[in-house]
Amino acid sequence: MARQRRITIEDVAREAGVSITTVSRFLNQDYGAMREETKNRIQSVIEQLGYHPNKFAQGLKRNRSKTVAVVVVNMGYPFCVGVIRSLSDVLHEAGYSLLVAETGADADREEKVLRSLMAQPVDGIVIQTNGANNELLAEIAKSTPVVLIDRQFDVPGAVNIVTNNAEASEQLTASLFAQGYQRVLYVTEEVQQISTRVDRLRGYEAACMKAGKLPWVAWIDRARPSTLQEAVHDVMAARPQEPFAVYAANGLIMLDLYPLIRQLDYPVPSAMGIATFDEPDWAKIATPPLTCVRQPTREIGESAADVLLKALRKKQDAPIRRTSRIILPSTVIPAGATLRLP
């Protein structure tokens, strides 16, 4: 069977008795002084012929691809999944497609992804970065809207969308002390000047100081499982006789740590509490359910989309003129793994 010829804009113009330019203006909703009769005739011909505009070609002519790239550290991380989903929902309604890339927290891989995006037509970039490529991001932001999510960095021309990490971490830690836990073991990766890690540690330490408790921090490397075992050994070596809690700095740490600490001979929540920043899907079905800090992933995605769309509506090549910051609040969600008192 012969393949059916693709209907072109030239076919539409010929059948409607107008110029190709007029059809192009109609497709781009640039009606100007176009008569209603002309618009109706073009629409009728498009429907009769079954014409489908080449959106990519249209984008190239306007120097627009109608595509936004989102670059995250880990596509399986619940935080990233939530942001990507809400970002996609808003951009889809505005007629944009989403291109998703993952860096694995590797600076070289992130640079390659960014340079690849520069070589193809994307209208904006949303990125969760470790900060190793800030100069490159600043260069990109001169011509393309750039939004940094989760981790805050001073990149000229970019917008930062973050949560109140320090405040939420302090609130969670304070709630653990309020439940009668005498010590709180905070399990975190090396901060490496990543704002989320810096702020969550700062909030934890502030709550310890206000409660008159000594900080108890276990430093781990998720790429080295032995460091997680060492964190558990810290608990065993301390032999806490009074109630204590284990607080993981993010959901990925807790995923690795949870089976290890549940092997300890401490009943939950009476002798040992368990809490984590983030709200992984499995936290609700753990026994008992984990106390979490719920980040506003939907609002982060919606805010990022809003920033990009506003920048693109103003002028496609207009960078955001200064580094700015949007802070969205997280919420502490108490659950059975730390609720000792009524």
- 4 in any annotated domain: no
pLDDT at residue 63, rounded to an integer: 53
- 340 in any annotated domain: no
**Pair (233, 277) in one structural domain:** yes
**Pair (203, 120) in one structural domain:** no
- 58 in any annotated domain: no
| Residue 29 domain boundaries | 9-53
- 94 in any annotated domain: yes
Go through 96-111 and write b for each residue having 16 or more CB atoms within 10 A of its CB, e for each that does not: bbbeebbbebeeeebe
Instruction: Provide the pLDDT confidence category of residue 56 given band limits of 50, 70 and 90.
Output: very low
pLDDT digits (tens, 9 = 90+) for 14-49: 999 988 778 877 877 777 778 899 999 999 998 888
The mean pLDDT value of the chain amounts to 89
- 316 in any annotated domain: yes
- 158 in any annotated domain: yes
- 256 in any annotated domain: yes
* Cis peptide bond prior to 288, omega within 30° of 0: yes
Whether the CA torsion 64, 137, 154, 157 is positive or negative: it is negative
Residue 143, pLDDT > 70, answer yes
pLDDT at residue 341, rounded to an integer: 81
**Pair (245, 178) in one structural domain:** yes
| Residue appearing with tokens 């490529």 | 133
pLDDT digits (tens, 9 = 90+) for 188-205: 999 988 999 999 999 999
pTM over 0.75: yes
C-alpha dist (Å) from residue 172 to 30, 64, 87, 162, 224: 53, 45, 28, 18, 27
**Pair (198, 100) in one structural domain:** no
Q: For the chain, how many structural domains are there in total?
A: 3
Question: Residue 336 is encoded by which pair of tokens?
Answer: 């059975």
**Pair (194, 275) in one structural domain:** yes
- 341 in any annotated domain: no
